[in-house]
Structure 1
């Protein structure tokens, strides 16, 4: 009952927002920077926080991913395992991968932690590590592949199907640049994943099968000079490489500059050119785009209702999260941005009741969450959520069910009184009729009574 009541209130608020948030007319609909090209057959650059697509080339075309598949493998593992769990390498993991493919030469029944195995898979692209992790999580590799495909669907991938955990050639194993960017963006939100892909080298200590430590090096040439320093990029945060004869060179890279984190994916590129293409795309985006937080809007425009809508500071129950942001071309103005209310798809954060979706030139360029306020005016019975639950202490609230219960009881009591009065209305009307009959003259009949000498005599009229 409590959840239904809160949901009903949320729906009412969202409906009102849809009616009240203004739309701003776009003044530069056709402008979008497009002066860069790449040799890769497909490519995309996505802003990590908003998901805004800053550049794309054939982003929905299907290609083989090769070892960037392991980003999805790592994502599923990290969502389903503790890092200190023990991974045991089966004969299928050791011998079931293609001969001569990437490996760190593990032995049957060798034991490592999940964390160590992840480093082996992501830095050295070890295929037996990817296989062993899949078996560890799901019991067998086919079940793990099902988990990978389910996660891809959950993220909104439309042109992706996995058939193994390592990316070795398979006709039923493919993706697109856009889908891979969605996967890479989701994985990077996990701090341990970001730490692993940004690590230049790592040492696996001796195991039950290897008496010597195993040294690992990150193969991403924009981050680490393991093979060459020709492609080093100072803003690179890490990523994952891939290559097979059919996939050619594939690459996922993260970079951060001027407070903006970007994810770049290139598919079916020429060897060496994947780094050149990625670097050029990053520089193009950093040169041509900038990021604004909602909290910055007021400093740009005295009347910030153009961006945040009239409810921003005037609603007692809902306000816009100031941590929301947009990414637009540097030559554009935030006044060229439109806003509209959309549903919030993540049910885990109950304080968020919707989102403002920002668009520019027909493209989604950012969002801001719509939050319950603490209703300090007392108009509605809400209390703040604590900071340890992810709130700010002011922006996030919870329902005070005691106060709501009292309000409901008052409403029920009033309704009961009305029903009681209605049920007694007929008795009240009868009493009123008798009262009038007793205190007022009876109406004349067709007989007139006259008195004569103390006797009554009737006379017809």
Structure 2
């Protein structure tokens, strides 16, 4: 715990240094002028950063029609499993009209099949049945929709149904639909479903025949034989139309590593497709994605200078997925960074947020990496720089286990030597004493012999 507090303190020190050192030279900031479109409201948002590349009245409220179903699908994949059984109630069948796949009362389908019906065929009865299944009841699901929208920062939205059929209290904006789409695209199941061109629903308890579905989005498929709007970079989306809403369209496209979300509302067909293509072409031609961890050299130098040990992974680092979006005429260093400290987080200590031309263009997190420092590692005195001596810096590493074994070996050898020394010393001492006793006995015998000889 003490070591973690120490590391966190050092990391926050790095954040403070970054706030001083990440001060780029200001350059003239240029933002490409967007095209003219027919629609009354539109937006293009980059999915990974949330950067708005183009907007036209994007916060004006309007009727969304069936692009409402993006939120319905998101809540379904977040709150249920694909294999759950969904039962179509009387309300689901008879309180919906318009587009559908002709389900019957008490018909049973898996959640997965309901989602394909919802997003490919825009089936209103599937939206109603999903709402009843995911929520405690229908009204509870509507509350879930509005709560989730607020969590994502959608301030222009009030949902009043799960399918988008006309309702004066059912309103949103192009910006909010793009924000909901940005969140939905993080979900792999949602991505899989909206990118599917064709799908077959197997027989059910009410339908003996299979039900064939074709995605209604004409930039993804040649729905109704119309291939004039196909767009090679399209990866999915959702169509919408009612007489009061006009044509609405949410479309997702990927190119050069950049994922874009385009939403247009209050359009007249076929302008919703034409405007969407125009906006995609404009954005792909004029903007590019930059990975922050790969290009933020000022941050990297600070980390290198503040490492605790050589040859060790830094204990803090930049999230490698963080990106920014800039016009192709701008360099990464033209974006203005701002470092913010993050409190109450065990993994993240700060954020680097970038702005350009008055817009927030993305950023990334400064994370505690969890790198472990090797134990019992010691460094020699710092040697002269490589440029001066031609020698590389070396680190002397001593393993205490080997030291202890060595010391014990020396003690053992010393003990053995000491024992041998005393054994030899005692051997000669005993030998000397025995010799002295032998000589004394001989001396006594000689004295007795002489006495006897003298008497005679």
Q: Decide: shared fold, TM above 0.5.
A: yes
Gaps of 5+ in 2: 308-314, 376-456
C-alpha distance 91-79 of structure 1, shift in aligned 2 (>3 A): same
Task: Name 1:330's counterpart in structure 2.
Answer: 328
Offset at residue 341 of structure 1 (A): 2.2
Whole-angstrom distance in 2 between the partners of 1:147 and 1:26: 47
Displacement, 1:24? 2.9
The answer for the alignment partner of 1:110 in structure 2 is: 107
Distance in 2 of aligned mates of 1:169 and 1:35: 32
Is residue 251 of structure 2 the alignment partner of residue 260 of structure 1?
Answer: no
Alpha-carbon shift at residue 322 of structure 1 (Å): 2.9
The alpha-carbon deviation at position 56 of structure 1 amounts to 0.9
Unaligned runs of 5+ in 1: 299-303, 380-461
Which position in structure 1 is the counterpart of 2:193?
Answer: 196
Deviation at residue 20 of structure 1 after TM alignment: 3.1
Going from structure 1 to structure 2, the CA distance change for 1:188 and 1:8 (only over 3 Å counts) comes to farther
Give TM-score, length-normalised by structure 2. 0.75
Within 2, Cα distance between the matches of 1:11 and 1:103? 59
Cα shift readout 1:169-214 (whole Å, capped 9, x = no counterpart): 1111111111111100111111111111111110000000000011
Deviation digits for residues 339-368 of structure 1, max 9, x if unmatched? 112366997xx4233321111112111111
1:232 positional shift = 0.4
Q: Aligned partners of 2:321, 2:43: CA distance in 1, in Å?
A: 25
Query: Number of residue pairs matched?
Result: 367
Report if aligned partners of 2:22, 2:337 keep a CA contact under 8 Å in 1.
yes
Hey, what's the Cα distance between the residues in 2 that align with 1:36 and 1:345? 42
The answer to whether residue 61 in structure 2 is matched with residue 65 in structure 1 is: no
Q: Distance in 1 between matches of 2:25 and 2:339?
A: 17
Q: Is structure 2 residue 354 aligned with structure 1 residue 355?
A: no
The alignment partner of 1:313 has SS state of helix
Q: Which residue of the partner structure matches residue 79 of structure 2?
A: 80
Q: Which moved more, 1:31-40 or 1:112-121?
A: 31-40
CA distance 1:32–1:201, change in 2 (3 Å): same
Deviation at 1:157, TM superposition (A): 0.8
The answer to whether structure 1 residue 137 and structure 2 residue 134 are counterparts is yes
Determine the structure 1 residue equivalent to 2:272.
Answer: 274
Change (3 A) 1:296 1:197: same
Aligned runs of 1:393-432 on 2, under 5 Å?
none
**Residues 117 and 123, structure 2, Cα contact 8 Å, conserved in 1:** yes
* Alpha-carbon distance, 1:323 to partner: 2.7
Give the one of 182, 186, 200 matched to 2:183: 186
Secondary structure (helix, strand or coil) at the match of 2:223 reads: coil
Aligned with residue 365 of structure 1, among 361, 367, 374: 361
State how far apart, in whole Å, the 2-side matches of 1:274 and 1:199 are.
21
Deviations 1:358-392 (A, max 9, x none): 1111211111121113455469xxxxxxxxxxxxx
Q: Against the structure 1 CA distance between its residues 44 and 219, is the aligned structure 2 distance closer, same or farther, given a 3 Å change threshold?
A: same
- Is contact 1:71–1:240 with CA below 8 Å preserved after alignment? yes
Q: Distance in 1 between matches of 2:178 and 2:303?
A: 32
| Residue matched to 1:52 | 51
1:123-134 correspondence runs (5 A): 123-134=120-131
TM-aligned CA distance change 1:148 to 1:47, over 3 Å: same
SS at match of 1:45: strand
Q: Using the alignment, how far apart are the partners of 1:367 and 1:92 within structure 2?
A: 46
Q: Please give the secondary structure, in 2, of the residue aligned with 1:311.
A: helix
- Aligned-pair CA distance for 1:12: 7.7
- Local SS of the residue matching 1:131: helix
For the residue of structure 2 that corresponds to 1:194, the secondary structure is: helix
Aligned match of 1:221 in 215, 218, 222?
Answer: 218
What's 1:313 paired with? 304
Q: Is contact 1:20-1:310 (8 Å) kept?
A: no
Distance 1:263 1:337, change over 3 A: same
Tell me if structure 2 keeps the 8 A contact 1:28–1:332. Answer: no
Cα displacement (A) at 1:246: 1.2
| Larger helix percent | 2
